[in-house]
Structure 1
Amino acid sequence: MQFNGIEVDRIIEMAWEDRTTFEAIKFQFGLKEQEVINLMRKEIKLKSFRMWRKRVQGRKTKHEKLRSFEKGRFKCTRQKLITSNSISKR
């Protein structure tokens, strides 16, 4: 698959985020975990890649099936209080 620079930057950003799962990246960009790893290896510095791999390997938050907390996408505990891009009074 070919991605433009903005998409590659977004994939890298999502891969670095601890709470963004590989499944979310696959849903949005169609890349499997191994393809994300290959993209990261190709696009970032070797030292950064090694640091990232060490951090995400086996991390429960990066794998949907390993998560023990609520599996809702993009949901925080205060979500019901947020309306029209502002937080309502409590």
Structure 2
Amino acid sequence: MKNLNLLTTIEIDRIIEMAWEDRTTFDAIKFQFELSEKEVIQLMRKNLKVTSFKRWRKRVQGRRTKHEAKRDFLVGRFKCSRQKTISNNKIAKR
């Protein structure tokens, strides 16, 4: 369990970004940042505006894609066929 006060602003921004993503599970956040779902909720409450936090909670609550065990698909990552590939830190052209 990581202390929420010891996170850098870059880590906090990344956790918030991951929490907003539909297909990123709380398990992935726990694996990468050692934060439980409850701690992610505390971090979101502390760092978002009240209305943004309420919107996020409403969106995430009961969402099957945010919990690894509740997912009904096998592939854990979606990539659009139109998404550009990234190689050597340069975005490849179509």
Aligned partner of 2:13 in structure 1 is 9
From 45, 51, 56, the counterpart of 1:41:
45
Deviation at 1:8, TM superposition (A): 0.2
Aligned partner of 2:54 in structure 1 is 50
1:1-90 → structure 2 map (5 Å cutoff): 1=3, 2-72=6-76, 74=77, 76=79, 85=87
TM-score, normalised by the number of residues in structure 2 = 0.77
Structure 2 unaligned residues grouped into runs of 5+:
none
Deviation at 1:71, TM superposition (A): 4.8
Give every structure 1 segment of 4 or more consecutive aligned residues whose post-TM-superposition deviation is greater than 6 Å. none
Deviation at 1:59, TM superposition (A): 0.1
TM-score, normalised by the number of residues in structure 1 = 0.80
